[in-house]
A and B are shown apart, each in its own frame.
Chain A
């Protein structure tokens, strides 16, 4: 059985989410980061990766191991952030209690 992230050839997905301009042409000028929090989620993940506690494959593995419900519902950088959080706790760089302190 293939896992959720292995979606090549899967049926059931609709049109590619594209932005078109007034001439109905596909826009090809998306900024590097659409929102500040995307940039932050990306940069924090890279900076934390530079601590050398894991490699690219491990961080990807953590994204792929998110609960299917979260993998489906999260946007791209939400997946990054969730996987990073789990990695930080598993590698004992931060504790669960420290994370819980931020729940509002």
Chain B
């Protein structure tokens, strides 16, 4: 399990943060997600054997937001 902090751009309300959480939680291998609209940050915990960092970033991008890997 590793924990990652991703900087997100393009969220315009707290619903966007919820959307990212919902989409990532559906992925196999993702343990927990917490996205903050105020801080524009997504904290995600995942099993790197099951899912790659890139796949997570791609999912967020597909939802419609820009990701900056910290």
Specify whether A and B are partners: no
